[in-house]
Amino acid sequence: MERFYITTPIYYVNAKPHLGHAYTTIIADTMKRFQQMMGKETFFLTGTDEHGDKIVQAAEKNKCTPQEYVDQISQLFKDLWPELGICNDHFIRTTDSAHKKVVQDVLQKVYDSGDIYFGEYGGHYCYGCERFYTEKELEDGLCPQHQTKPEYIAEKNYFFKMSKYQEWLKQHILDNPEFIRPERYRKEVLSLLDSGELEDLCISRPKSRLEWGVELPFDNNFVTYVWFDALLNYVSALDYPEGENFKKFWPGVQHIVAKDILKPHAIFWPTMLKAAGFEPYNNLNVHGYWLVNDTKMSKSLGNVVAPLDMAKKYGNDTFRFFLLRDMHFGNDASFSEEALAMRQNAELANDLGNLFSRVLSMVKKYFGGVVPQPAEYTEADMELRELASNSCKNFQQLFDNVRFSYGIESLWELVRALNKYVDSSQPWTLAKEGDTARLGTVMYTMLECMRKVAIHLWPVMPKSAEKLVAQLGVEFDPVKANLPAEVEAWGTLPVGIEIAPGSNLFPRIDIDKLRKEIEEATKAAAAAAKKAAAPVQEAAAPIEFDDFTKVDLRVGKVLVVEDHPKADRLFRCEVDLGEEKPRQILAGLKEHFTAEDLLGRQVVVVANLKPRKIRGLESHGMMLALKTADGMEMLTASGEVPAGTKAS
Ligand code: MSP
């Protein structure tokens, strides 16, 4: 039996699942179901990526330990998938001990083979991406993903000799045109490989900076870089090296990712596999981004779509159908509830639901609800049969090549042709004329085509497809359904069985009403965002005027910003307050600012705060900052004023 292994990225647990995560996982689920129907033995993996800086920061924000935090958020992902009708075979967490062991084993193997070395590196580190950027990769000095300023970090670390495999990788991509698809991403990777020598990959983080990770097996002062850890989930989940699943499913794997993580999957991962002695994966399938109102989803814009809200309101199947239908795999697409409702009305309620309820009620009326015997087929019938055969064939080829929207379109060509066929063959006239033989043929032709449509829809809309097949009165076991045979098969629907008509499965949505609802919800969200932007902070207890005058606030200029040698969260700053010597002030601003952000800035300082020692260094004064909904802003003077200017 042919085997099929499909994976999603393992999602970071620093945020709740949203539309983007749901999309990738729904695609993987659809692919699994489709390949099951194509007769393959399947394995579908998803999970969560739980190590690294980001997670530690998120846990701190939530005032819990990293372990407590990852347990909580990982569970949200794990619980969401069944609610969206997703049937993954395994859910992996990078904190699983079996996974950690695989990471260590592979590291040791690559280290022993001489492809990991110790060296020093300085680079622009983005905490959001958990990776270093080269000067060239930054856009106006900012991280291209997060538009934030990365921090320049120089430290000793372990490196993986990625550059050694550059030529091999290039050749492999050239020899295997489907290795990375669609083509635009393959080209992007090839041009990256052509643009110069790959840098070796820094695969460790010193424990002095980060402890939350898998310890290097050959140096316990370091933990593994999250990507080297995370990518290995694809083999650890199969119980590499001895597991049955590993023997069965590797290397025939298809990875699904979005364009944001193309480089780790197209460059780090295959070179890691090569160095560790694995066969490369089969395909990397790269999709675009879902945008909302043409912008990236973001918490601060308040436009993050919660998948469960949509699925609860419209049903899992409509939600899945919309996502697969409206995004051309590889390109970005815009999500809107209105577009979803319009798809439901046009393609599900009008085209599909209506076809079923119309035809089934005719069978009920003209044949007492029993599938009639077809007589002789006419040219029009044969044309329709031919179209049905082509639709099935195209659908299968397109789904095999992750071109879901086109695949659905080819099925809808058949649905639309069936609707036309009802009108042109005029069953009501045949009934009136008493031409039962012809009427039976027309009805049977339609029912058999509808059966084909319904079973092909199962990977996309499992529950609805099952209901549609049940309405046709047949038993349906998707795993036993032989999809490839459906291209040629005719006459599978047994004559004489009883159909079970029901109402239109897809109700029409009142678009005007929905628009009003959305308008109101948008207004409410904007008002809530405004409120959140100026967080209500508890007023402090009143003080006497004399107390206030005791506070000496002065404008200063930041001359030096360095890391506090013993306290991870503190900067050691030197601030010019117009005095003989700059003041040393220790500031806990690292979470929100980089050294470059602060250097040279005018700040407002509480100048007469008594000096105090923090971890061995004296701090004399305090720089003031404003807490905002998004983080922090430094308090400053609106124009340039001499250092030491007093506020009053
Ligand atoms: N943890 C890494 C992946 C490691 S895999 C070995 C990671 N996690 S993530 O939580 O940021 O997930 C990124 C993935 O989520 C994308 O590649 C994509 O699959 C999905 N999406 C997140 N936002 C998306 C959109 N707006 N649109 C479509 N999918 C997106 O990166």
For 552-609, give the DSSP string.
Answer: -EEEEEEEEEEE-SS-TT-EEEEEE-SSSSPEEEEE--TTT--HHHHTT-EEEEETTS
Tokens of 563: 């890391």
Q: Each residue of 638-648: pLDDT tens digit?
A: 888 889 999 88
- Catalytic residue chosen out of the listed positions 32, 129, 265, 449: 129
At 22, list the tokens: 């749901």
What is the rounded average pLDDT of the residues 330-357?
96
Instruction: Output the six-digit token pair for 309.
Output: 């809200």
Give the tens place of pLDDT for each residue, 435-452: 999 999 999 999 999 999
pLDDT at 411 (0 to 100): 98
pLDDT of 629 above 80? no
Residue nearest to atom 17 of ligand 1 (CA): 258
pLDDT greater at residue 138 or residue 375: 375
Question: Does the pLDDT value for residue 152 go beyond 70?
Answer: yes
Report which protein residue has its CA nearest ligand 1's atom 18: 258
124 classed as catalytic: no
- Check if 129 is active-site: yes
Above 60 in pLDDT, residue 282? yes
- Residue 4: pLDDT band (50, 70, 90) is very high
Quick one: average pLDDT of 455-471? 97
Q: How far apart are CA 561 and CA 152, in angstroms?
A: 13
Per annotation, catalytic residue among 54, 124, 126, 265: 126
Tokens, residue 560: 């030096």
Catalytic site residue 146? yes
- Which among 14-18, 385-389, 521-525 has the top mean pLDDT? 385-389
Query: Coil, strand, or helix at residue 377?
Result: coil
Asked if the model's pLDDT at residue 535 lies above 60, the reply is no
With a 6 Å cutoff on the Cβ, whether 77 touches ligand 1 is no
Q: Is the CB of 10 under 6 A from ligand 1?
A: yes
Is the CB of 333 within 6 Å of ligand 1? no
Let me know if 126 is a catalytic residue: yes
How far, in Å, is the centroid of ligand 1 from the Cα of 254? 16
Is the distance from the beta carbon of residue 297 to the nearest atom of ligand 1 less than 6 Å? yes
Positive/negative CA dihedral, 398, 400, 405, 411: positive
Which pLDDT tens digit goes with each residue over 471-504? 999 989 988 889 999 999 999 999 999 999 878 8
pTM value is 0.81
Residue 129 labelled as part of a binding site: yes
Q: What is the structure's pLDDT at 532?
A: 66
Q: How far is CA 353 from the centre of its chain?
A: 31
Query: Which residue's CA is the nearest one to ligand 1's atom 30?
Result: 20
Q: How far is the CA of 630 from the centre of ligand 1 (A)?
A: 22
Index of the ligand 1 atom closest to the CA of residue 231: 6
Distant-in-sequence, close-in-space partners of 305: CB < 8 Å, separation ≥ 6: 18, 19, 290, 292, 297, 335
Site to probe by mutation for ligand 1, drawn from 11, 13, 263, 294 as the one with most ligand atoms within 8 Å of Cβ, is: 11
Q: Are strands 283-287 and 219-224 parallel, antiparallel or unpaired?
A: unpaired
What's the gap in Å between 549 CA and the centre of ligand 1? 53
| CATH fold for the domain made of 336-486 | Isoleucyl-tRNA Synthetase; Domain 1 (1.10.730)
pLDDT attached to residue 615: 83
What's the pLDDT tens digit per position in 304-331? 888 888 999 999 999 999 999 999 999 9
Is 564 tagged catalytic? no
The catalytic position among 51, 99, 100, 143 is 143
Quick check: is 18 catalytic? yes
In the chain, list all ranges with CATH 2.40.50.140.
545-634
73 lines ligand 1 (CB under 6 A): no
If you search the block for the tokens 């969260």, which residue do you land on? 569
What phi and psi, each to the nearest 5 degrees, are found at residue 210? -150, 125
Share of the chain above pLDDT 90, in %: 74
pLDDT at 533: 60
Catalytic residue among 149, 161, 170, 296: 296
Res 300: pLDDT: 67
Interval between CA 189 and ligand 1 midpoint (Å): 18
- What is the second-level CATH architecture of the domain 545-634? Beta Barrel (2.40)
Helix, strand, or coil here: 140?
Answer: coil
What is the pLDDT averaged over residues 458-473? 96
Helical pair 316-326 and 462-471, crossing angle rounded to 10 deg: 110
Whether residue 87 is annotated as binding a ligand: the answer is no
Q: 316-326 and 404-425 helices cross at what angle (nearest 10)?
A: 110
Which residue's structure tokens are 């509480």?
Answer: 606
- When mean pLDDT is compared over 3-12, 119-128, 569-578, 587-596, the highest value belongs to 3-12
Residue ranges, CATH 1.10.730.10, the chain = 336-486
Name the pLDDT band for 125 (thresholds 50, 70, 90): confident
126 is in an annotated binding site: yes
Average pLDDT in the 329-352 region?
96
Q: Which residue has the tokens 């500031």?
A: 587
Determine what percent of the chain is predicted with pLDDT higher than 70: 98
Top-ranked range on mean pLDDT: pick from 10-19, 396-405, 586-595, 626-635 = 396-405
Please give the mean pLDDT across all residues of the chain. 93
Mutate to test the pocket of ligand 1, among 260, 286, 322 (most ligand atoms within 8 A of CB): 260
Question: Does residue 143 have an active-site annotation?
Answer: yes
Answer whether 99 contacts ligand 1 (Cβ < 6 A). Answer: no
Least confident of 144-153, 425-434, 484-493: 144-153
Q: Do the annotations mark residue 143 as ligand-binding? A: yes
Residue bearing tokens 């601030």: 575
Q: CB–CB of 270/137 below 8 Å? A: no
* For residue 79, pLDDT beyond 90: yes
User: Separation of 261 CA from ligand 1 center, angstroms?
Assistant: 7
